[in-house]
Amino acid sequence: MPSFSHFLHTFISSKDLFIDAALLTLKLTVVSILIGILFGLFFALLKISRIKVLEYISNAYVFLVRGTPLIVQIFILYFGFSGIFLIPDFWAAALALAFHNGAYIAEIFRGTIQSIDKGQMEAARSLGMTRILAMRRIILPQAFKRALPPLGNQFIIGLKDSSLAAFISMNELFNVSTTLGSNNFDEMTYLLIVAVYYLVLVAVLTMLVSLFEKRLAVSDR
Amino acid sequence: MNDREMIKIENLHKSYGSLHVLKDINMSVYESEVVCLVGASGSGKSTLLRCLNFLEKRQGGRISIRGEEISPETHNINSVRQTVGMVFQHFNLFPHKTVLENVIEAPTMVKKIPKDQAIAEAKELLQKVGLLDKANVYPSKLSGGQKQRVAIARSLAMKPDIMLFDEPTSALDPQLVGEVLATMKELADEGMTMVVVTHEMGFAREVADWIVFMDDGRIIERNRPNDFFDHPKEQRTQEFLQATMLK
């Protein structure tokens, strides 16, 4: 184990590299989660569309994503398609992560949409609203609020999963820590340092989510 | 009261799978009439009401609203629904919207009425149901009776010609029933055409023009309130009334 003063010293001297890497990790996470939410919402709506073909498409998507490792999905997007077209490493990682998270987010949205009392849709329809309008104005806002805690959880998973982008040579947090560790023959110190960065990012994310939850909870008070 | 036929139901059938819940229902409701549907739980009265708003699909028969036959395939159900308001047993207020937002939602989003105008009209309606001071609170802050009065105002905001009430007081604490019934009575006095599924026999006797008694998916008896309660024609009505009064 490195001594605490050594750890602290290394932590400070490496901070510029790690902060750059943390920003890249954050960018990767935010972009992939935002796109993932769109994917998730889209496939959740397909699943509850009551149109068989669309349901199958949605089921197939969730099955493919949940049934294969994320690293395989990233490699397919980055290397697998390289003969046909070249995706920049950032977008290969971001899209693979979005595609991956989207499947889990789709299941989150589907669950929370279906958990909204049937009477809400009936009341909206009885007022002359179309199904789509009722979905947009009445069901989704309530479902989204209910989805926040599991979504927050998914964001944290997404943040940590972004470390797999190291394997397509992106200089995000994990890659920087292993590179510095092996260059300096000091793996343990740099691994502990990167763990601290992840913890801080997750703590910030957790705070943001709970802040958002509180803001949306106004109508419960 | 006049002769304009607001609702006409002919040979209506409804099943859930093999369960036949409405059997050959025929019934008319004329303008400004108040019809109370009574009967035991499971007799089909709520289902009948829901068929009138097309929340349930029917398997056979015809439903005409204001002389116009409505079939889900050919008609825009949403425009029919705008003329037929519905109040539910469990209120179904939108919990993420304030009382005022609940009331203006459909006028602004469906009828595209300017927001200022919708708000002015909503405030009048809230005044009418005695809840103007609650305009900016969320439904979670209201008692059951207040919620139901907001739900009535929300329905009225679409200016319906017909109001359907599905056991509007069944989910309320006993001391809150009166305020909702008073609001409904006021509405009836103003000439609103109403179909009310209810267990409140006192209300039915006082306010209804017709009482329709249902049992096992059929209309057993349709009668004027005084005759219905004092001289029921049918054996099954007598049994039902006895059971209700004894409880």
- Please state, in angstroms and rounded to a whole number, the distance separating the CA atoms of residues A200 and B120: 50
B positions 125-164 inside 8 Å of A (CB): 138-140, 151, 154-155, 158
Asked if residue B223 lies in contact with residue B233, where contact means CB atoms within 8 angstroms, the answer is: yes
pLDDT at B35: 96
**Is A136 touching B (CB cutoff 8 A)?**
no
CB atoms within 10 A of CB A148: 17
pLDDT value for B81? 85
Give me the mean pLDDT over the A109-113 stretch.
96
Which of A50, A113, A127 would you mutate first to test chain B, the one with the most B CBs within 10 A? A127
Decide if B57 contacts B73 (C-beta within 8 A).
no
Name the residue facing B158 among A127, A137, A141 (closest C-beta).
A127
CB of B229 within 8 Å of a chain A CB? The answer is: no
Contact at CB, A129 and B109, closer than 8 angstroms: yes
Rounded to a whole number of angstroms, the distance from the CA of A119 to the nearest CA of chain B is: 6
Question: What tokens were used for A12?
Answer: 């400070």
The two structure tokens encoding residue B5: 């036929």
Does residue B236 carry a pLDDT above 70? yes
Tokens of A144: 């989204």
Q: Which residue of A has its CA nearest to B96?
A: A219
* Structure confidence at residue A169 as a pLDDT band (50, 70, 90): confident
B135-193 per-position pLDDT tens digit: 999 999 999 999 999 999 999 999 999 999 999 999 999 889 999 999 999 999 999 99
ipTM of the complex: 0.91
Query: What chain B residue is nearest to A119 in terms of C-alpha separation?
Result: B92
pTM, two decimals, is 0.86
Query: What residues does B87 pair with on adjacent strands?
Result: B165
Report CA-CA distances (Å) from A2 to A5, A8, A9, A47: 8, 10, 11, 52
Residue B133 has pLDDT above 80, yes or no: yes
Residue A118 sits at the chain B interface (C-beta within 8 Å): no
Nearest-CA residue of chain B relative to A120? B92
Q: Determine, for residues B97 and A219 on separate chains, whether the beta-carbon distance falls below 8 Å.
A: yes
- Cite the DSSP H helix spans in B11-98: 45-52, 77-81
| Chain A residues with CB-CB distance to B95 below 8 A | 142, 219-220
**pLDDT tier for residue A69 given thresholds of 50, 70 and 90:** very high
- Which chain A residues have a beta carbon less than 8 Å from that of B140? 219-221
> How far is A8 from A11, CA to CA, in rounded Å?
5
Classify residue B68 as left (phi > 0), alpha (psi -120 to 50) or beta.
beta
- Asked if A145 has any chain B CB less than 8 Å from its own CB, the reply is yes
Q: Which residues contact A104 (CB under 8 A, 6 or more apart)?
A: A40, A65, A66, A154, A157
Amino acid at A186: D
**Cα nearest neighbour of B136 on chain A:** A219
- Mutation pick from B50, B79, B92 vs chain A, by most beta carbons of A within 10 Å, is B92
Looking at residue B247, what is its pLDDT? 47
Task: Check residue B218 and give its pLDDT.
Answer: 93
Mean pLDDT across chain A: 91
Of B95, B106, B138, the CB nearest to A127: B106
Place of tokens 């990682």: A93
Residue B246 has a pLDDT of 56
Q: Residue B102 gets which letter from DSSP?
A: H
pLDDT digits (tens, 9 = 90+) for A117-127: 999 999 999 99
Buried b (16+ CB within 10 A) or exposed e, B47-79: bbbbbbbbbbebeebebebbeeebeeeeeebbe
